[in-house]
Structure 1
Amino acid sequence: MTSTLSPPHADGPAARFAASHANELRERDEHRDRAARAVARMARDRPDKILLLSILGLEPAAETGAPGLESALAGYTRQVAELIGVPAEAVTCEVTDTATAYLGLTARTADLPQRDLMLVWDERLGWSVAIEPRGDDEPPVICRLGRQIAPPPATVAQFVADALRGSRHGQLSPVPARLDRAILAAQMTGSSA
């Protein structure tokens, strides 16, 4: 007697399990890639990178021919820092679940001479000048550069100069939809050329 197995139903428990398992594997791979990129950023050189990744049991994140957001943001942030005179040690950027950049400003405003300022960038909000927080405070935003998420570095430098002079244009506006990261990287690379 021959028995035939019927295919699992597309909405049955086996199909739900398979979909859930595939989703879990995809998320695990994404987390491992993010961790590998974070570790690689901290490495001093290639041998150090390989050692750190091997200690954690990670493989190097896949690299593509087109500049990724991580390298585009690093170059873009470096150019902004150079234009406004921020030393390299006062600049950080990272790409995790949110891409961000921080530049510690050396200048202060006339109306807040006792408070340090920072220039921060976020992939959803773009650039803003804010007061350095004290403790766990949320940094108060002085002004935000509106319209473009990744304007040319010269535009950002002019925005900072205006903010330091007291111009408060570009106040908070509704949060725009998240841009595709490949498009954002292309904008940063194009705007810095």
Structure 2
Amino acid sequence: MTSHPRSQFVEARTHAARERTDQQQRAVRTVAGQARDHTEFTAMLSMLGLEQCMSSPTPLGRRLAVYVDHVAAAVGVPTEATGYEVSDTATAYLGLDRRLPSRPDHDLMLLWDERLGWYVAVETTPAEGPAVVAYLDGDTVPTPDAVARFVTDLASDRSATRIRPVSPPTDRAELATRMGAVCPVPA
């Protein structure tokens, strides 16, 4: 797979997000070791802006990370070609090593969005938005095997949905629960 500026940016952003999460977890462990009781522990986390780190033992970010890892394994994408982010919108990126005959100079990417589900797009320049090729119909959190079949079917020129209606916002706790049901979080 060719390294494009967009994929380099996604990789760097993913690495930075993982580093930030690791630092936050170390800070929470340090605070836990220094606090005299739960009240002090909570107050110290609040002062450091880390209260969100203890809000749920399995937040959407952790569920999404596991889900993306499972999908990447099913599709055959190495971990270093993946990325995910939970901000105002939860999203994921998987760089595919496939190309379309109609655009042989452009890599394909498999994208996920909490409202759109999975879709395949052609990588373009960073100034352009991705050119969507097809959407995976159905649930926004399908099984990894269903996503792999979608990618295989698309590469084989089997039918693909070109238009997908935007779903209403999903409750993030429900989204995390659905991801946990499809791909359990390791202990």
**TM-score, length-scaled by structure 1:** 0.70
User: 2:155 matched to 1:164?
Assistant: yes
**Which residue does the alignment assign to 1:10?**
none
Change beyond 3 A, Cα 1:131–1:62: same
Q: Is the 8 A contact 1:109 1:165 kept in 2?
A: no
Q: Is the 8 A contact 1:39 1:49 kept in 2?
A: no
1:178 to 163, 166, 169: 169
**Which residue does the alignment assign to 1:3?**
none
Q: Distance in 2 between matches of 1:123 and 1:177?
A: 10
Give 1:65 deviation, angstroms: 4.9
- Aligned-pair identity in percent equals 39
Q: Is the 8 A contact 1:40 1:49 kept in 2?
A: no
Question: Unmatched 5+ residue regions in structure 1?
Answer: 1-37
User: 2:82 matched to 1:105?
Assistant: no
Q: Distance in 1 between matches of 2:84 and 2:125?
A: 21
Note the alpha carbon deviations across 1:157-188, whole angstroms, 9 max, x for none.
11011111122422212211111111111111
Moved more, 169-178 or 138-147: 169-178
**1:189 counterpart letter in structure 2:** G
Whichever of the two has the greater Rg, that structure is 1
**Which residue does the alignment assign to 1:191?**
182
Question: Unmatched 5+ residue regions in structure 2?
Answer: 1-14, 29-44
User: 2:94 matched to 1:117?
Assistant: no
Q: Is the 8 A contact 2:121 2:133 kept in 1?
A: yes
Alignment of 1:1-16 (within 5 A): none
Counterpart of 2:54 in 1: which secondary structure? coil
Counterpart of 2:67 in 1: which secondary structure? helix
1:89 to 80, 86, 89: 80
Note the alpha carbon deviations across 1:77-122, whole angstroms, 9 max, x for none.
0011111111111100010010000001012223322211100000
Q: Is the 8 A contact 1:124 1:175 kept in 2?
A: yes
Moved more, 145-154 or 103-112: 103-112
Q: Distance in 1 between matches of 2:57 and 2:170?
A: 17
Aligned pairs, number: 154
Counterpart of 1:61 in 2: which secondary structure? helix
**TM-score, length-scaled by structure 2:** 0.72
Bigger relative contact order, structure 1 or 2, given CA contacts below 8 A and separation 6+?
A: 2
Q: Distance in 2 between matches of 1:40 and 1:60?
A: 17
Runs ≥4 residues deviating over 4 A: 44-49
Moved more, 163-172 or 173-182: 163-172
Counterpart of 2:153 in 1: which secondary structure? helix
Q: Distance in 2 between matches of 1:61 and 1:39?
A: 18
